Amino acid sequence: MLKLSTLIISLVIVTSTYAQTYTIAGYIEDANTGERIIGAYIVDSISQNTAQTNAYGFYSLKNVGKDAVIQAIFTGFQSDRIPVRLINDTLINLKIYKVNEIKEVKIISSRYRRGANSQLGLITIPVSSLAQIPALGETDLIKSLQNQAGIKGGIEGSAGIFVRGGNAGENLFMLDDVPLYNISHLYGFFSVFNSSAIKDIKLLTGCFPAKYGGRVSSVIDIRSRDGNTKSIKGEFSLGFVSSKFTIEGPLLSNKTTFIISGRRSYFDLFAKPLKKTGILDENFPDYYFYDLNARITHTFSEKNKIYFSYYQGKDKIQNKEAHTITTSTTENTSQNQSEIINESWDESSGWGNIISSLRWNHIFGKSFFSNTTLAYSSYNYFTQNQYKEIGSNIENNYNVNYNSDITDFIIKTDFDFAISNKHSLTFGIGNTFHTFNPGKNKYSMNNILQNVNTDTSFTNELLHANEPSLYIGDLFEISNKITLNFGARLSGFISDSTNYYNIEPRIAVNYAITPHLVFKSGYSRMVQYMHLLSSSSVSMPTDLWVPALKGLRPIESDQINTGFAYDWKDSYLLSVELYQKWLSNTTDILDGVSLIADITPWYNKTTQGNGLAKGIEVSLEKQQGKLTGSIHYTLSSSTRKYQELNNGLSFPFKFDRKHDFNISVNYRINAKWDISVMWVYGSGYRATLPVEKYNANVSIFDTNTFAGEEIAFFPSRNNYKLPDYHRLDIGLHYKTKNRIGEHNLSFDIYNAYNHHNQISAYYTYAFNYGYLLPMIPTITYTYKF
């Protein structure tokens, strides 16, 4: 019996020693800048186990034997192969280099880049590719998103996106985990995102992971750069519309880094001298916009790091006009008097965002990672109109002001837990405290001569609400063929008058028929507790954010996706995706009302209904070699239905466009020169136009219509389709280095064959169209040191 016990104990010891495995965890960093890399892989060539970094560059590689050879890999980068002998779990930070800087290392298989097994509905855009897209003055993130399958860009030049039949307000734009409520500069021609300050871009259009919520159509998750840990670096760019600068580096030591990036337009600076010379009319409005991004990071230890981020952006347009007039008065037949009166008008409007956040990264052991965020986000829109009339005997002042804003305070904690290399959990909890000001109108008049002094305000009630959330997501590679991503989100909206609670299930599955051919399918439910009201056919700063209160219900979407992806010869990626999305409680404004001028409360101007969107998206990408590019095609339809609009009948959504096609190609001529070409085609957008006009013949008892007044008959909403849209953009880019730094020149032509694309239509005695952008050549110079 003693011999048997001894044998069993010996077998257990031998087995446990043989089966002893360890965990290697840490961060993957750019060797040149110290930036932590999102989405990089770490590979152990002995055990063949792999792991991927999260949104903060952290990885956890499990089930590694006592001997391992690890290597970090990212698109265009990789590390040296590092042999490791383990006696316990350990933290190892890996540094990666550009592939052309480490000639001795063999380029790893392309299965570690974005391939056929990527998540359904996820589009990852390398920041480096932004500079390869022909630009209207400067590279813009949103313009790149508008070229993806399933994304529609609104009218020409606008910075909005409309995803799979959704409205502009149904997209969640997040900068460093904080939502932005308005992303447009120059009335939508450019976005607020400064490409020099961005590190990572992810666009989700379906099969949303459980951690994301609050919008029903898409999530755009943007991460800022941390700053160079090695040395002070900088960048200055002079563009067609604006100039920008970036400076970054260590602060006191390499444990603390900073980055500051700013951008400003100069329409107002050019306008003043041009007005004096007469080239511009003296009443031409002054306009400017600016952005400021700042971040400080500090590493306390291998397990603790904090980030403080700040963003502020603003647009302002102002139109001033002044006149001096002389009036003549007659007191009697023999005496005339004259009076000099100074008149002035000052009209201005503006909008802007401010966001800030404090985040703390902490590692619990080698498998458990947390990020805690405290954040603030605000958006404001205002208009101011002032008229003054001053003379020796009179002084009149008239003021009309409008203001709306939304403010959020956010607290949340997110966790990543690696159960194994093929099984991981994400979960978290958080709350957003909203304050809504849905619009305040203020009117004042001061007339000294008539002794009139009035001050009147029409203010919508300030509204407060909490939006709590709790989620859990599970990513499980069941076998070499099946990967399952499922979870659920519990969300709510709590105010003094109304409480909503919703469960939002999510599931997605990938089935690898072969290593290069993957079938994908998924379902997701999303709930949105606020609405963006718009009275125009384009997303504008005048649009109004309102909560799901005062009779409005939250928007709900249920979306199913299915498709496949094929990675051909590790060079071409073909993906096909079909989707159908059901929208409930979509919101629109009633016919004949104004969001700003009408003092009626906003909740009496709205109606709710349903929407249906469906389509097929086809993409072909070539990601490697001197010649790279993509082809995207979307066939889709989108409709809306409201009982109080269009006689209760279904009608096309205003951004319903049946066909969307674009092709973009970039060719690297040599180390200094590359050329890019992009051609865009799309069916025309929808417009509401009359089909008949007639003169009214009414009785004297009708007080709403006058006899002889022209009446227009509209048979239905969005009854007319504008002509098809197409445009060719060309870019030529030059890059060189010398002892003082790197120099980049971009020569771009927007709308190279000068096609007049119609953005609007109106009817007099025939159809007339509005046009916007002709052919525009631009030059941009960037200097990096």
Looking at residue 570, its pLDDT comes to: 72
CA distance to 268, 284, 289, per residue, from 317 (Å): 9, 10, 9
pLDDT band at 594 (very low <50, low <70, confident <90, very high): confident
Residue 449 pLDDT: 61
- Please state the rounded mean pLDDT for residues 113-119: 66
C-alpha 127/C-alpha 668 separation (Å) is 17
Q: Which has the higher per-residue pLDDT, 283 or 42?
A: 42
Q: Distance (Å, rounded) from C-alpha 646 to C-alpha 640?
A: 10
pLDDT digits (tens, 9 = 90+) for 652-696: 998 888 999 999 999 999 989 999 999 999 998 888 877 777 766
More confident residue, 371 or 189: 371
Percent of the chain with pLDDT over 70: 85
Mean pLDDT calculated for residue range 637-642? 93
Q: Is 274 helix (H, G, I), strand (E, B) or coil?
A: helix
Instruction: State the average pLDDT over residues 614-631.
Output: 90
Half-sphere exposure of 58 (CA within 13 A, CB side): 23
Distance of CA 33 to the CA centre of its chain: 26
More confident position, 514 or 340: 514
Predicted confidence at residue 369, as pLDDT, reads: 93
Banded model confidence at residue 324, pLDDT cuts 50, 70, 90: confident
| β-strand pairing of 218-224 with 171-175 | parallel
Residue 375 near residue 410, CB atoms below 8 Å: yes
Tokens standing for residue 338 = 């004259």
pLDDT given for residue 424 in this prediction: 92
Segment 459-472, tens digit of pLDDT? 778 889 999 999 99
pLDDT at 410: 97
The pLDDT-based confidence of 293 (bands split at 50, 70, 90) is very high
In which residue are the tokens 């700042």 written?
A: 294
The pTM for the full model equals 0.87
What pLDDT score was predicted for residue 186? 78
Residue 179 backbone zone (phi > 0: left; psi -120 to 50: alpha; other: beta): beta
What is the predicted pLDDT for the residue at 709?
62
Task: Evaluate whether 136 touches 667 at the Cβ level (below 8 Å).
Answer: no
Report the C-alpha dihedral over residues 295, 300, 305, 307, rounded to 10 degrees.
Answer: -20
Lowest mean pLDDT among 200-209, 379-388, 701-710, 718-727: 701-710
CB 459 within 8 A of CB 440: yes
Q: How far is CA 734 from the centre of its chain?
A: 29
Banded pLDDT at 107 (limits 50, 70, 90): very low
The yes-or-no verdict on residue 538 having pLDDT over 70 is no
Share of the chain above pLDDT 90, in %: 37
